[in-house]
Amino acid sequence: MDSKVKKFSSYFLVAIVLVTTVIAVLEIWGIHLLDIEAIFWKLIQSLIVVFCSSAVILFVFAVVLKEKK
């Protein structure tokens, strides 16, 4: 596969993952009554979503953008 196509497709995948992550975090932090336990669980859910999205981005960079020596 052409290197320009690989780079474009990998950056496109990363952009999709980032948009999905932002949408998921915004959905988690929807308007609800504020109490300490709810804020704690929202924080944990947000951290899990960000961790999963960073793992996907790392996979895309490691597999698709891996440079041959």
Q: What is the pTM of this model?
A: 0.63
Q: What is the pLDDT of residue 69?
A: 61
Ordered by start, the domain boundaries in the chain are 3-63
End-to-end CA distance of the chain: give it in Å, rounded. 16
Averaged pLDDT, groups of 10, the chain, 69 residues long: 79 87 78 66 86 89 75
Q: Transcribe 4-67 into DSSP letters.
A: HHHHHHHHHHHHHHHHHHHHHHHHHT-S----HHHHHHHHHHHHHHHHHHHHHHHHHHHHTSPP
